Structure 1
Amino acid sequence: MEKELCFVTVIGKDQKGIIARMANSVYEKEINIEDISQKVLEGYFVMSMLIDVQDSDYSLDEIEKDLREIGEEMGLQVQLQHEEIFKAMHRV
């Protein structure tokens, strides 16, 4: 089965519920979390999520809008980037 992968990055002041809210948002849209990594550095939360949007009926714009709204409510910066754009930007 082919995957359509996107990278989600979240940065901001550490607080309870960040992972839960982001994960719940993608779950509600039939999106699978392929990989997730998070760290807290000097009180700042940094998370990268690799998600597969292949089975979702939502557009990338809708997915990003919802994640950014959660980020705004929590004082976080959220970015969604399609795998192809990520690869093009990081090609050596």
Structure 2
Amino acid sequence: MSNSVITVIGKDRIGIVYDVAKILADNQINIMNISQQLMDDYFTMIILVDTTKCPKSFPELAETFARESRNLALEIRLQNEEIFKAMHRI
């Protein structure tokens, strides 16, 4: 693995950035760039991350985010950067 894009969407509340950053730190994932915004009562965030040092495979990491999504009442998605770029190319 190398670079991935993580998207986070959920009802705004205190601690969302902390919760997501903790998952990243626990999995040795480095934040390369981050953008966040409030849209009415919803929090949105897009994070470009370096997963080079992450000991988990991509499917294992995707399952980690799926589990944490349920625990945190957020939608957290992990995508390979190249796939993300291809999907959003005009």
Normalised to the residue count of structure 1, the TM-score between the two structures is 0.86
The number of residue pairs the alignment matches comes to: 90
Aligned residue for 1:41? 39
Aligned residue for 2:74? 76
Runs of 4+ in 1 over 2 A off after TM superposition: none
Is the Cα contact below 8 Å between 1:9 and 1:46 reproduced in 2? yes
Residue 87 (structure 1) shift: 2.0
Is 1:15 aligned with 2:13?
yes
Flag structure 2 segments of 5+ consecutive residues without an equivalent. none
Percent identity over paired residues:
38
SS in 2 for 1:26: helix
Distance 1:49 1:91 in 2: 18
Flag structure 1 segments of 5+ consecutive residues without an equivalent. none
Distance 1:56 1:35 in 2: 17
Normalised to the residue count of structure 2, the TM-score between the two structures is 0.88
Is the Cα contact below 8 Å between 1:14 and 1:44 reproduced in 2? yes
SS in 1 for 2:31: strand
Residue 27 (structure 1) shift: 0.8
Residue 38 (structure 1) shift: 0.9
Residue 88 (structure 1) shift: 1.9
Aligned residue for 1:90? 88
